[in-house]
Amino acid sequence: MATRRFSRCRMVEKCFVDYENGTSEVTLQDISLKGALVELKIAVPFNLGDGICLSFPLGHSDKYLQFNAEIKHSNGTMAGMEFLDTDLGTLVELHSLLKANTDNLEEINREFSLLTGA
């Protein structure tokens, strides 16, 4: 397995995956600035490289973060994905979310700078 370049933050949240055959409610297990791991209620036969859209609510607001992503691994009800072309506004929101949920603030800030040049 390849070494991860971005730190994962454990977050268990309800979210949604839109894919070729519809939309599924999933549970976010962990997330980084470049990807996420989700657990589906039932196994979905994702193939490596399948394009999906992951969306999840920000707190108790009506605002959702959305990520176009590609399936990198899938096993039963678990699916890992890499985010593709995330816009700066979404990265800033995700960075704030990760900072609030990590013990590794320096690493999260370094990774954000690497992605944004900030």
Q: What is the CATH number of the domain that holds 106?
A: 2.40.10.220
Residue 3 has pLDDT above 80, yes or no: no
Arithmetic mean of pLDDT, 64-81: 95
> Does residue 82 lie in a domain region?
yes
> Does residue 3 lie in a domain region?
no
Domain that holds residue 98: 9-116
87-109, pLDDT tens digit by residue? 999 999 999 999 998 988 999 99
> Does residue 46 lie in a domain region?
yes
Yes or no: say if 33 and 115 are a contact pair by the CB < 8 Å rule: yes
Q: Look up the pTM and report it.
A: 0.89
Report pLDDT for 107: 94
Question: Total structural domains in the chain?
Answer: 1
> Does residue 2 lie in a domain region?
no
Q: Picking from 1-5, 82-86, 109-113, which range would have the lowest pLDDT averaged per residue?
A: 1-5
| DSSP track, 48-80 | TT-EEEEEEE-TTSS-EEEEEEEEEEEETTEEE
